[in-house]
Structure 1
Amino acid sequence: MSEQPVADKSVRLAWAADTDAVGRVQARAWQHSYQELLPKELLDEVDSEQFAAAWSQAVIRPPTAQHRVLVALDAGRVVGFAATAPSDDPDAQPTDGEVVAFHIDPDELGEGHGSRLISAVADTLRADGFTRGRIWLFVGEDALRGFLEPAGWGPDSAHRTLDLTGDGEHTVRQVRLHTDLAEDAS
């Protein structure tokens, strides 16, 4: 019996064994993507092991069956990830899902991983019964916004300010994008 070929580039649900790599991808992506958006002292504290521990819990014991972590792979190596969940925004409907994380390793940008991942995110949200997807972006996160808008994600006028340190010293503004997940809209 011959072995079945494995796709060199793919997306699948994350396994517990992936979480260290997910933590490393998140740390590298934050330090690359947020260097102009977040204070240096906060980025200096980014710890891939802490991220990995949090993602381990998310993968092993998700809060609900609609909380998912997906990984983008290149020859079996984790090069990106996304997490989906029911939206907990105050204006959310039960059919609103949210992308709570979406990161590609900076060295892997432009290789198609983001496109495969955002497509899998939409399919996952749809399979989980959501008809609308949402994602919050930092104001100034232009590269990700420039990637998402042509993929069908657009601003919906919602915005918020996050207090990163709890003391009002470091705040960031965010805007929300959304997409219609109805089968005929994809």
Structure 2
Amino acid sequence: MTAADCEGVAAIRVRGWQHAYRGLVPQSYLDGLDVAADAERHRARLSAGDGSVLDLVAETGGGELAGWAACGPYRDGEVRTPDAELYALYLPPERIGRGVGRALLTEASRRCAGAGRRRMYLWVLKHNTRARRFYERAGFAPDGAEEPFEVAGVAVPEVRYARDLTG
């Protein structure tokens, strides 16, 4: 991902949230998501980053952005660990089920394994059954950790998934 991709990635993320989390988080929050503000956060993060976060974009044959994933060191509170974490994976709703998400997840896993990370974690909304099935088909499994994720003052439960990257 480059700074030139930030607007497209923000549009994918916002549409992804609005599609995937409808009925799971407050609708007023989803309606208030702003592509321009999200793009600016991505630009600021990229320019201030220490290189530990890997942002991957998938493109169509015509160069249009088709998905975005971000991964890096696992965050245990404010501490980064030697394991990997998939921070985000979003697609435009019309790209779901076409292999783009699988390709991004495979590449993120491959790069994290190549960086010596042995295990990958991710957090998913407990009631997001589509995403949970996707990750389970990719070899991830819930490891028993759960925590609330606060969205617009509402606690939304998340579960942690894990998968070994080696062997």
2:132 alignment partner in structure 1: 145
Please give the secondary structure, in 1, of the residue aligned with 2:124.
strand
Letter in 1 for 2:162: H
Q: CA deviation at 1:93?
A: 7.5
Q: Once structures 1 and 2 are overlaid, which stretch shifts more, 171-180 or 66-75?
A: 66-75
2:110 alignment partner in structure 1: 123
Please give the secondary structure, in 2, of the residue aligned with 1:123.
helix
Q: CA deviation at 1:61?
A: 2.9
- TM-score after normalising by structure 1: 0.83
Indicate the percent of aligned positions where both proteins have the same amino acid: 29
Q: CA deviation at 1:59?
A: 2.7
- Conserved in 1, the CA contact under 8 Å of 2:26 and 2:151? no
Matched, 1:178 2:165: no
- Conserved in 1, the CA contact under 8 Å of 2:53 and 2:72? yes
In 1: Cα distance, 2:81 partner to 2:42 partner = 24
Name the count of aligned residue pairs. 165
Q: CA deviation at 1:163?
A: 2.3
In 2: Cα distance, 1:23 partner to 1:93 partner = 25
1:26 alignment partner in structure 2: 13
- Conserved in 2, the CA contact under 8 Å of 1:59 and 1:68? no
Letter in 2 for 1:87: Y
- Conserved in 2, the CA contact under 8 Å of 1:66 and 1:128? no
* Residue in structure 2 matching 1:163, options 150, 154, 157: 150
Letter in 1 for 2:116: G
Q: CA deviation at 1:144?
A: 1.1
In structure 2, the gaps of 5 or more residues are none
- TM-score after normalising by structure 2: 0.92
1:73 alignment partner in structure 2: 59
1:47 alignment partner in structure 2: 34
In structure 1, the gaps of 5 or more residues are 1-13
1:102 alignment partner in structure 2: 89
Matched, 1:56 2:43: yes
User: Radius of gyration: which is bigger?
Assistant: 1
Higher strand share: 2
Q: CA deviation at 1:95?
A: 2.0
Superposed CA RMSD: 1.5
- Conserved in 2, the CA contact under 8 Å of 1:85 and 1:100? yes
Please give the secondary structure, in 2, of the residue aligned with 1:88.
strand
